[in-house]
A and B are shown apart, each in its own frame.
Chain A
Amino acid sequence: MKAGIVIFPGSNCDHDAYHLSKNILNWDTCLIWHKETSFNPPDLLILPGGFSYGDYLRSGAMASKSPVMGAVIDFAKKGGYIIGICNGFQVLTESGILEGALIKNKNLRFLHQDVYLRCENHSTVFTEKIPPGKQLKLKIAHGDGNYIADSDTLKKLEAECRVAFKYASPDGNLNEKYNPNGSIMSIAGILSSNKRVLGMMPHPERCVEELLGSTDGKLIFEGFIQ
């Protein structure tokens, strides 16, 4: 299993992702600088969290125009597997690989807290190892995680089972109380139409060891292990 992690100026979860991939999952892992215009296609490409370009203009906006993004878009078009976490999700929406946008949290605050995610589609490589009925306990750490899309896009996402995760209570109920950032329909993560690109605001890579308070994040990557 080979993983590639793209580093933008201002990425700060790149080494968390590297630790997960290299040390926890024992994958062959390479780091890809944003100025590269090509890379050897990995089995999974990770766009990590952080504050690329200082979140100036819009979160992920300038990273989405980085030299490496031409190759990333091409990789997605050819059916490559990509996970974009937090700022990586913002880069995926800004580059048009995934629909919708992420705007400022409804309460205008930077949120750093535990959340529970209800899995909405168990038949993808990212979600097949999540036991039915289990809510993932993961961490969020973002200021711009409020997912928004127009009603046609939302209908399409629902109809094609492309909502991967929703913020929920520990026992899986949807309620605005458990929707920390005001995301429409409590959406925490979505999939591309071929289900090979996942964008999500919570950080699975921060929940991969008991020491970190949860190992639920590993489940999202275990589907790749043959």
Chain B
Amino acid sequence: MNVRTYIFFKKSVLDPQGQAVMKALQGMGFEKVKDVRQGKVFDLEIESEDKEKAFQIAKEACEKLLCNPIIESYEIGKA
């Protein structure tokens, strides 16, 4: 089963890359874009057809490596 994990900086953390992209977009005329948060996506191919089990494995992968809980949060969804 393919599971997609999304990692983003927590709201409390200033995301310097997101800010740079936002400024570039605003400079191009996208003045309605008020904020940009840049994140990461990991697609995990997990050997399990049981959604709950696969999500549990993805959750552990996020907590142990993919996400640094001090600065980031994660979400898990089906790819």
Contact = CB atoms under 8 A, between A and B. Distances in A.
A61 B17 contact: no
Given A57-B66, A65-B65, A148-B71, A104 B16 contact: yes
Contact of B68 (A61, A99, A104, A150): A61
Interface string A81-105: 0000000000001100001110111
A24 interface: no
Main secondary structure of the interface of A (DSSP, over half): loop
Interface in A61-118: 61-62, 65, 93-94, 99-101, 103-108
A179 interface: no
Contact of A101 (B14, B16, B65, B71): B71
Interface of B: 9, 12-14, 16-17, 20, 64-66, 68, 70-71
Contact of B71 (A62, A103, A106, A108): A103
A150 B65 contact: no
Given A148-B71, A150-B12, A104 B17 contact: yes
B16 A94 contact: no
Interface of A: 57-58, 61-62, 65, 93-94, 99-101, 103-108, 146, 148-150, 182
A70 B67 CA distance: 20
A149 B70 contact: yes
Contacts of B20: 108
A106 B9 CA distance: 14
Nearest to A102: B71
Contacts of B14: 106
A146 B15 CA distance: 11
B16 A108 contact: yes
A62 B9 CA distance: 18
A108 B17 contact: yes
A101 B13 CA distance: 11
A65 B68 CA distance: 13
Of A65, A100, A107, A150, most buried by chain B (CB within 10 Å of CB) is A150
Contacts of A101: 68, 70-71
Contacts of B9: 103
A108 B24 CA distance: 14
A103 B68 CA distance: 11
Contacts of A149: 70
B68 A148 contact: no
Given A100-B70, A148-B13, A150-B70, 12 more contacts: A57-B66, A65-B65, A94-B68, A99-B70, A101-B68, A103-B71, A106-B16, A107-B16, A108-B16, A108-B17, A146-B16, A150-B12
